[in-house]
C-alpha cells in the first residue's frame, strides 16, 4: 500500500487498522481508490518487473528490502552479477570484467580479460553483449562505480550504450542489513564478518593497477593470476551475499 | 562645471602645482541605427527605451550571417546586448538550440546570468539560463544538463566536465553558439591553457556532430584577429569601432613627486575627498587590496563619509551592496582594485582616479571608461608611481591618450602545456593520428614512450593511473603546489617557482591583510613554515640568471649589430634578499636555494666589440641600463606582467662571443612574448630611448634605468651608455 501516492507510514498503519491489507482491497476506498486502480492498470498481469522497479524507485530508498523481491519476477537466465577491474579510478581503461550467471544451485562465472590495453574495446563489446540479454543486474557499489565506468568507457570509444536493466546494488542492502554488526560496508568486511569467507593471499583492490602494469611491462602473466582470482571471488561473494540477504528478509516475514 | 572645479582645486592650500598636463578628449557623437528584429526582441528594446548603435547592428548582422566574430568596442558600448540579441534570435528559431557562455571568473558568470534571466523573462523564451560550475548544487546538476539551453561556466570547470561528455550529449549536439566574454583575460599560461582547452572542446563537439559559431568580446587590443585565431583556431570578423555617445573627457596628469612632503596615497585620498565632497561621484583604482583599504580609510578621515573600499574577497552580499550603491548614487566614491575594471554592472561615474599605471593601456582605458555618463563630460586623473612605465606616460601624454593598444599573445606551442592537453584529449576520446599536427605527433611519441598513452587500433588512449585532468593546473605551469603553513594550519598553496621567489626563508608575506614571516622552505617536501608577526618592512628577493642559447629560429642582420630569436635554457638562482623599510633598503641577506633550470623563448642582440661613444669601462653599465629600459617598456607592446620577462646583459657572451643583451620569457616553455618583442624591436627600442633620454635625472634613477627586480643591485648602470646603445639599436632597426 505504501506504493501509492499519499500513503506514508502513518496512513499505512491507519489503513491496516481499518481492515485494508493490499492494493486491490483499496479499490473501494473513497480517497485512495482511484490511485489504486491506476497502479493496478499499470501493473498488468503478469507483473512487468521494470514497471514495478520504476514505481518502487519513486517511493523507496535503494536499500529497501522490497527491491530484492524483484528477483522473484525475473527469470533466472535474465539475471547477471557483474564486477569490473580498472587501471585506477575514473577515466582509465577497464582491464577485467566478470559476469556471473546464476544456475539452480551454482553460479557460472565468465571473465573477460584484456591481455593488452587495446583489447579493452573487445572486452566492452562482450560485456555489453551479455548485458543486452539481461533484464536485472546485481553488483556491489556498481551504481556509483562499475556501471558508471562501463557507460563512460563505451562513450569514450563511441560504442552504443542504451541498456537500462534493473540494477540492484547490494552495497545499499548490505549497509542497511548489517548496520549494527559491521564497522563499514566494504565487501571484505562483509565477507569476514557475515559470510565467514576468508580470502587467503588476496590482492587488495588498490593493488590491481600495479600488478597489471607489472604484467604489461614484463609480458609475464604471473601478476595476472591474483587479479583474475580477486575478480572471480568478488562475483562469487556477491552470490553468497545475495542468498544471505534473501534469508534475512524471509526470516523477517 | 569641470572648469570651475579645476579652478577650485588649484586654489586649494594642499595643491602644489602637481598637474603637469591637461588633455581634452573631444566628445563622440552617437550613431544610432536600425536593424529588423523579431517582434519579441524589438518589443523588449522598445519597452526599455533602447535604441541600437551602428556597431551593435553590425554585430547582429555578422552573427546572423553565421560568421565568427570578435567585438572590441570601448567599455560601456553595449557589447553584451549586441551579441545576446542575435543569439536569442537564433535560439528562438531553433527550439533545440543551445549556447555556452564562458567567463574567466565565477562572479562574472553570476552577474551575467542575472541579465540573461531578465532577457529570457521579457522575451518569454524558455532557456533556463544556468550557471554550471563547482558551486552548482548536486541536486540541480542533472536538470541543467538535461534541460538548460544556455549554460554559463568558466574554463577551469569546463576542463573537468569534458571527460564526462556523454552526460552532456544533448547540450553538445545542439550547441550553436560559444560566447567567450572578457577574452583579453586569457593570456600567458592561463590563456594558452584556455586555447588548448577550446581545441579539446571543438574536438568533442565534432564527435557529437556540432560546430557552433564563436563570439568573442574583449577590451581593445592591437591584434584582435590574430589573437582570436590563436585562441580559437578560427578566422573571425573584427568589430572594433564604437559608435555610442561619449561626453568630453578631461585627463589630468598628476605628478605626486612634486609634493615630496605628502605620499601618493595621501594625495590620492585628498583628491578623492575633494571630488566627492564637490558632488563628483568618483571611482579610484589602485594596484593592491591594501592600498585600496588605505586610500579609502585616509579619505574617510578627511571627511569623505560616503567612500568605501571594494575588492575581490568581499562577500557577494557586500559586493552587491556597493555595486547597487554606486548605480543608485548612494555611494559617492569607491576605491577598488582591478576587480571593478569591467564586467560588473555599476553604471557610469563622473570621475576616475588611476593611482599607478595599471600595467597596460588596455586596463587603463577599461578603468577610465568607467567615467562618463551618456554625453556628460567626465574627468580622469592619472597619478603615476615612481617606476619607468608609470613615469613614461606622465612625460608622454600623447602615448597615453593615443589609439595604440598592446598586443595579446598566447603560445599554444608551449611543449609542456601542449603535451598535457594532448594527454587530456586522449583521455576524453581516443586520439587518432590524423587529428594531430606533425609537431604534436612527436609529442605523442614521447608520451607513448613514457607510458602515459598507448596505441590502439582506435587511436591513442590514456593509460596513466592518475586522472589526466589533474596532472597540471589551468593557472600554473609548475604543477604541484608548495603548502604555506602556520602552526600546522594551511594558509595557501603556491607553485614552486613562485615559492622560490616569494616564500624563501626570511620573506615577509601578506595573507588576508596579516603579515607573516617565512621560517623555512622545504621544496622537496613541498612545505613552507610561516609565523605570524606584525612587521613594518617588506622583503624582495634578488636573482641571477645564466642563459644558454639552444637554437636560432629567426634572425635579422643590421649593419653592426645582429638580432636573433630562438630557444634558450635559463638557470636561475635566488642569491639573496633585501629588507626594505619605508622605501629604504635596510639590510641584504644571502639565500641558499637550489638553482632552477628551464627552457623558454628568447631574443638576443649582439653589439660590435666597440660601440662608438661608449668607453670600454662603461660598456657593461650601458648594456645593463638598455636591457632594463627595454624590459620596462615591453608591456607597451604586449600584454604581460612585469614578472613575465627577464633579461641578462654581458660584455662577452659565451656563445655569441660579443657584447650581448638577452631577453627571455620567464615562463617555463615560453609564452610567445619574446617573439613579439623581436618583431617590434624597433618600436620597443624607440620607446626605451624616449624613456631614458626624456628622464630629467642625471645618472639614471628608478623612473628610467633602475629595475626593482635586478639581481645585481642595479650595478653597474650607465645612463649615457644606455642611451648610446639604444640609439644604435633604433638607427639600425629602421626597416622600409
Share in percent of chain A as helix, strand, coil (round to 5):
55, 15, 35
Collect all residues of chain A within an 8 Å Cβ-Cβ radius of residue B428. Answer: 156
Contact B164 A152 (CB under 8 A): yes
B491/A240: higher pLDDT: A240
Nearest beta carbon to residue B165 from set A117, A155, A209: A155
Contact B458 A93 (CB under 8 A): no
Burial of A239 (0-12, 13-18, 19+ CB in 10 A): middle
pLDDT of residue B736 exceeding 60: no
In contact, B726 and B611? CB cutoff 8 Å: no
The predicted structure's pLDDT at residue B479: 58
Residue of chain A whose alpha carbon sits nearest to that of B167: A152
pLDDT tens digits for range A75-92: 999 999 999 999 988 788
Q: How far is A218 from chain B (nearest CA, A)?
A: 14
The predicted structure's pLDDT at residue B476: 66
Collect all residues of chain B within an 8 Å Cβ-Cβ radius of residue A87. Answer: 463, 465
CA distances from B105 to B147, B595, B663 (A): 24, 35, 32
Task: Provide the 10 A C-beta neighbour count for residue B489.
Answer: 8
pLDDT > 70: what percent of chain B? Answer: 98
- Residue contacts between A and B (CB atoms, under 8 Å): 52
pLDDT of residue A235 exceeding 70: yes
Highest mean pLDDT, choosing among A38-47, A184-193, B582-591: A184-193
Residue of chain A whose alpha carbon sits nearest to that of B468: A91
Contact B468 A91 (CB under 8 A): yes
* Three state DSSP letters for B613-649: CCCHHHHHHHHHHHHHHHHHHHHHCECCCHHHEEEEE
CA angle A122, A126, A128 (to 5 degrees): 115
In contact, B689 and B521? CB cutoff 8 Å: no
In contact, B417 and B193? CB cutoff 8 Å: yes
Nearest beta carbon to residue B467 from set A90, A93, A209: A90
A252/A194: higher pLDDT: A194
Collect all residues of chain B within an 8 Å Cβ-Cβ radius of residue A86. Answer: none
- Average pLDDT of the residues in B356-370: 91
- Tell whether A122 lies on the interface with B, counting CB pairs under 8 A: no
Q: For an interface test with A, give the residue of B465, B470, B471 to mutate (most A CBs within 10 A).
A: B465
Q: Inter-axis angle of helices B289-301 and B264-277, to 10 degrees?
A: 50
Q: How far is B429 from chain A (nearest CA, A)?
A: 5
Q: How far does CA B595 lie from the centroid of its chain?
A: 28
CA torsion sign for B131, B132, B133, B139 is positive
The whole-chain average pLDDT of chain B stands at: 90
In DSSP terms, B484 is beta-bridged to B492, B528
Task: Provide the 10 A C-beta neighbour count for residue B599.
Answer: 18
- Average pLDDT of the residues in B118-141: 92
Collect all residues of chain A within an 8 Å Cβ-Cβ radius of residue B424. Answer: none
Contact B467 A121 (CB under 8 A): no
The predicted structure's pLDDT at residue B210: 97
pLDDT of residue B231 exceeding 90: yes
Contact A155 B428 (CB under 8 A): no
Q: What are the start-end ranges of the E strands in B384-488?
A: 453-456, 459-462, 482-486
Interface of B with A in 329-368 (CB under 8 A): none
* Three state DSSP letters for A32-96: CHHHHHHHHHHCCCCCCHHHHHHHHHHHCCCCCHHHHHHHHHCCHHHEEEEEEEECCCCCCCEEE
- Tell whether A156 lies on the interface with B, counting CB pairs under 8 A: yes
pLDDT tens digits for range B304-343: 888 999 877 677 788 888 888 998 999 999 999 888 887 7
- Tell whether A208 lies on the interface with B, counting CB pairs under 8 A: no
The predicted structure's pLDDT at residue B512: 67
CA distances from B436 to A118, A158, B443, B472 (A): 20, 19, 10, 21
Q: For an interface test with A, give the residue of B456, B467, B469 to mutate (most A CBs within 10 A).
A: B456
The predicted structure's pLDDT at residue B69: 98
Collect all residues of chain B within an 8 Å Cβ-Cβ radius of residue A115. Answer: none
In angstroms, the CA B364 to CA B285 distance is 9
Whether ipTM exceeds 0.90: no
Collect all residues of chain A within an 8 Å Cβ-Cβ radius of residue B454. Answer: 117-118
Collect all residues of chain B within an 8 Å Cβ-Cβ radius of residue A88. Answer: 464-467
The predicted structure's pLDDT at residue B513: 65
A71/B343: higher pLDDT: A71
CA distances from A183 to A180, A194, B65, B189, B245 (A): 8, 12, 64, 47, 71
pLDDT of residue B345 exceeding 80: no
Nearest beta carbon to residue B429 from set A87, A117, A156: A156
Contact A152 B462 (CB under 8 A): no
Q: Which element (helix H / strand E) includes A169?
A: strand A166-169
Collect all residues of chain B within an 8 Å Cβ-Cβ radius of residue A121. Answer: 456-458
Contact A117 B454 (CB under 8 A): yes
For the residues of B580-606, what is the DSSP string, one character each?
Answer: EETTEEEEEEE-----EEEEEEEEEEE
- Tell whether A129 lies on the interface with B, counting CB pairs under 8 A: no
CA distances from B153 to B126, B160, B179, B258 (A): 19, 11, 10, 48
The predicted structure's pLDDT at residue B505: 92
Q: Which of A242, A213, A238 is nearest to A227 (CA)?
A: A213
pLDDT tens digits for range B441-483: 999 999 999 889 999 989 999 998 888 888 877 776 655 578 8
pLDDT tens digits for range B485-496: 999 888 877 777
pLDDT tens digits for range B30-56: 888 999 999 999 999 999 999 999 999
Collect all residues of chain A within an 8 Å Cβ-Cβ radius of residue B468. Answer: 91
Q: Which residues 6+ apart lie within 8 Å of A220 measured at CB?
A: none
Contact B465 A88 (CB under 8 A): yes
- Tell whether A66 lies on the interface with B, counting CB pairs under 8 A: no
Tell me the pLDDT band of B165, cut-offs 50, 70 and 90: very high
Q: Pick the range with the lowest mean pLDDT from B59-63, B426-430, B650-654.
A: B650-654
Nearest beta carbon to residue A117 from set B207, B461, B467: B461
The predicted structure's pLDDT at residue A36: 83
Q: Which of B476, B483, B430, B479 is nearest to B453 (CA)?
A: B430
Contact A92 B469 (CB under 8 A): no
pLDDT of residue A179 exceeding 70: yes
Collect all residues of chain A within an 8 Å Cβ-Cβ radius of residue B165. Answer: 155
Q: For an interface test with B, give the residue of A86, A87, A92, A123 to mutate (most B CBs within 10 A).
A: A92
Residue of chain B whose alpha carbon sits nearest to that of A156: B429
CA distances from B99 to A217, B44, B115, B152 (A): 46, 20, 15, 9
The predicted structure's pLDDT at residue B593: 86
Collect all residues of chain A within an 8 Å Cβ-Cβ radius of residue B427. Answer: 91
Contact A90 B458 (CB under 8 A): no
Nearest beta carbon to residue B430 from set A87, A91, A157: A157
Residue B60, phi then psi, degrees to nearest 5:
-60, -45
pLDDT of residue B107 exceeding 90: no
Q: How far is B478 from chain A (nearest CA, A)?
A: 23
In angstroms, the CA B139 to CA B136 distance is 8
In angstroms, the CA B648 to CA B390 distance is 23
The predicted structure's pLDDT at residue B478: 59
In contact, B200 and B420? CB cutoff 8 Å: no
> In B396-508, where does DSSP find H-type helix?
397-401, 415-428, 438-449, 496-502
Contact B456 A152 (CB under 8 A): no
The predicted structure's pLDDT at residue B93: 94
- Tell whether A93 lies on the interface with B, counting CB pairs under 8 A: yes
pTM of the model: 0.86
pLDDT of residue B371 exceeding 80: yes
Q: Which element (helix H / strand E) includes B192?
A: helix B188-207
- Average pLDDT of the residues in B276-290: 90
Interface of B with A in 200-239 (CB under 8 A): 207
Task: Provide the 10 A C-beta neighbour count for residue B122.
Answer: 15
The predicted structure's pLDDT at residue B127: 94
Contact A118 B456 (CB under 8 A): yes
Share in percent of chain B as helix, strand, coil (round to 5):
40, 25, 35
Q: For an interface test with A, give the residue of B449, B463, B464 to mutate (most A CBs within 10 A).
A: B463
- Which set of grid coordinates corresponds to residue A137? 543486474
pLDDT tens digits for range A125-141: 999 999 999 999 999 99
Q: For an interface test with B, give the residue of A115, A119, A155, A216 to mutate (most B CBs within 10 A).
A: A155
Q: Pick the range with the lowest mean pLDDT from A63-72, A219-228, B271-280, B447-456.
A: A63-72
The predicted structure's pLDDT at residue B58: 96
Three-state SS at A124 = helix
- Average pLDDT of the residues in B722-734: 93
- Tell whether A115 lies on the interface with B, counting CB pairs under 8 A: no
- Tell whether B82 lies on the interface with A, counting CB pairs under 8 A: no
Q: Pick the range with the lowest mean pLDDT from A34-48, B29-43, B705-719.
A: A34-48
In angstroms, the CA B56 to CA B58 distance is 5
Amino acid at each position: 500500500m505504501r506504493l501509492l501516492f499519499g500513503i506514508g507510514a502513518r496512513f499505512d498503519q491507519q489503513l491496516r487498522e481499518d481492515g485494508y491489507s493490499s492494493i486491490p482491497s483499496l479499490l473501494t476506498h473513497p480517497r485512495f481508490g482511484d490511485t489504486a486502480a491506476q497502479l493496478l492498470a499499470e501493473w498488468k498481469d503478469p507483473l512487468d518487473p521494470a514497471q514495478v522497479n520504476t514505481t518502487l524507485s519513486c517511493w523507496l530508498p535503494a536499500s529497501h528490502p522490497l527491491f530484492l523481491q524483484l528477483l522473484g519476477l525475473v527469470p533466472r537466465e535474465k539475471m547477471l552479477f557483474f564486477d569490473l577491474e580498472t587501471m585506477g579510478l575514473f577515466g582509465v581503461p577497464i582491464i577485467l570484467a566478470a559476469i556471473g550467471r546464476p544456475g539452480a544451485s551454482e553460479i557460472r562465472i565468465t571473465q573477460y580479460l584484456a591481455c593488452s590495453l587495446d583489447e579493452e574495446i573487445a572486452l566492452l563489446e562482450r560485456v555489453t553483449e551479455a548485458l543486452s540479454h539481461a533484464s536485472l543486474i546485481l553488483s556491489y557499489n556498481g551504481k556509483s562505480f562499475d556501471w558508471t565506468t562501463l557507460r563512460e568507457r563505451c562513450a569514450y570509444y563511441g560504442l552504443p550504450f542504451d541498456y537500462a536493466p534493473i540494477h540492484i546494488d547490494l552495497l545499499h542492502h548490505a549497509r542497511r542489513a548489517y548496520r549494527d554488526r559491521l564497522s563499514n560496508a566494504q565487501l571484505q568486511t562483509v565477507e569476514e564478518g557475515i559470510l565467514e569467507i576468508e580470502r587467503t593471499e588476496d590482492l587488495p583492490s588498490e593493488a590491481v593497477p600495479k600488478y597489471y602494469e607489472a604484467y604489461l611491462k614484463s609480458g609475464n602473466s604471473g601478476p595476472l593470476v591474483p587479479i583474475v582470482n580477486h575478480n572471480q571471488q568478488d562475483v562469487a561473494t556477491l552470490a553468497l551475499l545475495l542468498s544471505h540477504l534473501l534469508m534475512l528478509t524471509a526470516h523477517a516475514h | 562645471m569641470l572648469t570651475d572645479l579645476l579652478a577650485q582645486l588649484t586654489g586649494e592650500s594642499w595643491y602644489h602645482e602637481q598637474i603637469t598636463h591637461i588633455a581634452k578628449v573631444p566628445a563622440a557623437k552617437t550613431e544610432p541605427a536600425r536593424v529588423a528584429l523579431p517582434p519579441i526582441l524589438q518589443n523588449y528594446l522598445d519597452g526599455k527605451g533602447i535604441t541600437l548603435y551602428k556597431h551593435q547592428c553590425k554585430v547582429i548582422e555578422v552573427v546572423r550571417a553565421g560568421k565568427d566574430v570578435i567585438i572590441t568596442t570601448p567599455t560601456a558600448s553595449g557589447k553584451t546586448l549586441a551579441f545576446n540579441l542575435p543569439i536569442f534570435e537564433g535560439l528562438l528559431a531553433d527550439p533545440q538550440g543551445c549556447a555556452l557562455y564562458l567567463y574567466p571568473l565565477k562572479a562574472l558568470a553570476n552577474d551575467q546570468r542575472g541579465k540573461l534571466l531578465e532577457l529570457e523573462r521579457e522575451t518569454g523564451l524558455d532557456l533556463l539560463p544556468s550557471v554550471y560550475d563547482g558551486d552548482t548544487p548536486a541536486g540541480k546538476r542533472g536538470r541543467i544538463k538535461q534541460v538548460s539551453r544556455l549554460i554559463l561556466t568558466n574554463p577551469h570547470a569546463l576542463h573537468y566536465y569534458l571527460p564526462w561528455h556523454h552526460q552532456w550529449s544533448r547540450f553538445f549536439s545542439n550547441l550553436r553558439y560559444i560566447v567567450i566574454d572578457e577574452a583579453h583575460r586569457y593570456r600567458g599560461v592561463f590563456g594558452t591553457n584556455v586555447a588548448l582547452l577550446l581545441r579539446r572542446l571543438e574536438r568533442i563537439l565534432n564527435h557529437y556532430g556540432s560546430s557552433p559559431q564563436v563570439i568573442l568580446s574583449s577590451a581593445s587590443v592591437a591584434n584582435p584577429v590574430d589573437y582570436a585565431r590563436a585562441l580559437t583556431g578560427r578566422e573571425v570578423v573584427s568589430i572594433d569601432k564604437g559608435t555610442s555617445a561619449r561626453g568630453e573627457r578631461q585627463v589630468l596628469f598628476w605628478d605626486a613627486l612634486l609634493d615630496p612632503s605628502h605620499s601618493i596615497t595621501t594625495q590620492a585620498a585628498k583628491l578623492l575627498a575633494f571630488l566627492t565632497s564637490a558632488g563628483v561621484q568618483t571611482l579610484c583604482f589602485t594596484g593592491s587590496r591594501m592600498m585600496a583599504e588605505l586610500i579609502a580609510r585616509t579619505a574617510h578621515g578627511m571627511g569623505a563619509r560616503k567612500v568605501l573600499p571594494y575588492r575581490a574577497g568581499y562577500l557577494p552580499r557586500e559586493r552587491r551592496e556597493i555595486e547597487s550603491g554606486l548605480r543608485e548614487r548612494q555611494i559617492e566614491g569607491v576605491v577598488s582594485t582591478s576587480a571593478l575594471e569591467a564586467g560588473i554592472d555599476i553604471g557610469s561615474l563622473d570621475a576616475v582616479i588611476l593611482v599607478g599605471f595599471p600595467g597596460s593601456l588596455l586596463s587603463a582605458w577599461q578603468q577610465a571608461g568607467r567615467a562618463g555618463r551618456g554625453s556628460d563630460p567626465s574627468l580622469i586623473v592619472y597619478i603615476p608611481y615612481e617606476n619607468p612605465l608609470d613615469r613614461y606616460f606622465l612625460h608622454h601624454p600623447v602615448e597615453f591618450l593615443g589609439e595604440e593598444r598592446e598586443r595579446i599573445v598566447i603560445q599554444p606551442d608551449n611543449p609542456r602545456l601542449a603535451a598535457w592537453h594532448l594527454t587530456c584529449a586522449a583521455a576524453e576520446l581516443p586520439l587518432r593520428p590524423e587529428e594531430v599536427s606533425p609537431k604534436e605527433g612527436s609529442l605523442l611519441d614521447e608520451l607513448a614512450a613514457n607510458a602515459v598513452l598507448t596505441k590502439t587500433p582506435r587511436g591513442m588512449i590514456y593509460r596513466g593511473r592518475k586522472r589526466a585532468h589533474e596532472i597540471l593546473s589551468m593557472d600554473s605551469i609548475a604543477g604541484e603546489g608548495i603548502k604555506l603553513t602556520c602552526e600546522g594550519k594551511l594558509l595557501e598553496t603556491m607553485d614552486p617557482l613562485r615559492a622560490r621567489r616569494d616564500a624563501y626563508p626570511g620573506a615577509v608575506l601578506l595573507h588576508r591583510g596579516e603579515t607573516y614571516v617565512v621560517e623555512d622552505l622545504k621544496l622537496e617536501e613541498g612545505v613552507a613554515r610561516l609565523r605570524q608577526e606584525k612587521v613594518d618592512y617588506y622583503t624582495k628577493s634578488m636573482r641571477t640568471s645564466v642563459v644558454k642559447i639552444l637554437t636560432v629560429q629567426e634572425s635579422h642582420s643590421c649593419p653592426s649589430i645582429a638580432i636573433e630569436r630562438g630557444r634558450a635554457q635559463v638557470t636561475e638562482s635566488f642569491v639573496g634578499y633585501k629588507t626594505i623599510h619605508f622605501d629604504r633598503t635596510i639590510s641584504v641577506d644571502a639565500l641558499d636555494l637550489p638553482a632552477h633550470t628551464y627552457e623558454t623563448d628568447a631574443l638576443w642582440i649582439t653589439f660590435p666589440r666597440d660601440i662608438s661613444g661608449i668607453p670600454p669601462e662603461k660598456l657593461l653599465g650601458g648594456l645593463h641600463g638598455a636591457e632594463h629600459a627595454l624590459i620596462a617598456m615591453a608591456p607597451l607592446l604586449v600584454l604581460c606582467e612585469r614578472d613575465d620577462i627577464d633579461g641578462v646583459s654581458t660584455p662577452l657572451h659565451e656563445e655569441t662571443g660579443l657584447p650581448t643583451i638577452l631577453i627571455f620569457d620567464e615562463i617555463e616553455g615560453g609564452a610567445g612574448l619574446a617573439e613579439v618583442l623581436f618583431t617590434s624591436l624597433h618600436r620597443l627600442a624607440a620607446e626605451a630611448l624616449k624613456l631614458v633620454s626624456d628622464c630629467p635625472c642625471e645618472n639614471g634613477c628608478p623612473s628610467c634605468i633602475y629595475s626593482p627586480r635586478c639581481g645585481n643591485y642595479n650595478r653597474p648602470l650607465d645612463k649615457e651608455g644606455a642611451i648610446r646603445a639604444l640609439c644604435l639599436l633604433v638607427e639600425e632597426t629602421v626597416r622600409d
